[in-house]
């Protein structure tokens, strides 16, 4: 997960874009008991989801949807304000699942 974050930083740098809206997310899978994993990314997602706007906030997960799930567990009311989609992710068991919320 750290390597993915570093790669996104490199891409933004090469594009001449600022990384001030790039936030580190979870470094672990969501525990099976449903305990959220708070992070800078989940805090930002909650803030953006609750900000006034016309229409929903569209959120795309390019890997596991851990950060989206954690944000929903921390602030369930964001469900009314977001539309999210996730790509395939490999679970620790090695089973591959395609996710879409």
What is the mean pLDDT of the segment spanning 83-91? 72
How far are the Cα atoms of 32, 72, 74, 82, 97 from residue 77, in angstroms, in the given order? 21, 7, 9, 10, 26
Task: Give Cα 41 to chain centroid, integer Å.
Answer: 6
Strands 89-90 and 82-86: unpaired
SS3 82: strand
40-69 pLDDT, tens digit per residue, is 999 999 999 999 999 999 998 877 788 999
2-48 pLDDT, tens digit per residue, is 788 889 899 999 999 988 888 888 888 888 888 999 999 999 999 99
Quote the pLDDT of residue 61: 83
Residue pair 61/85 in contact by the 8 Å Cβ criterion: yes
Half-sphere exposure of 16 (CA within 13 A, CB side): 0
Say what the pTM is. Answer: 0.76
Task: Round to whole Å and give the CA distance between 5 and 53.
Answer: 28
DSSP character string of 38-69: --HHHHHHHHHHHS--SSPEEEEESS--HHHH
Is the per-residue pLDDT at 100 higher than 50? no
């Amino acid at each position: 997960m750290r390597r993915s974050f570093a790669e996104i930083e490199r891409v933004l740098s090469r594009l001449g874009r600022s990384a001030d809206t790039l936030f580190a997310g979870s470094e672990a899978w969501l525990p099976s008991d449903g305990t959220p994993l708070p992070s800078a990314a989940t805090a930002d997602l909650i803030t953006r989801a609750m900000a006034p706007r016309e229409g929903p906030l569209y959120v795309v997960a390019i890997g596991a949807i851990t950060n989206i799930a954690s944000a929903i567990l921390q602030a369930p009311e964001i469900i009314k304000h977001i539309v999210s989609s996730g790509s395939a992710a490999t679970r620790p068991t090695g089973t591959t699942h395609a996710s879409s919320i």
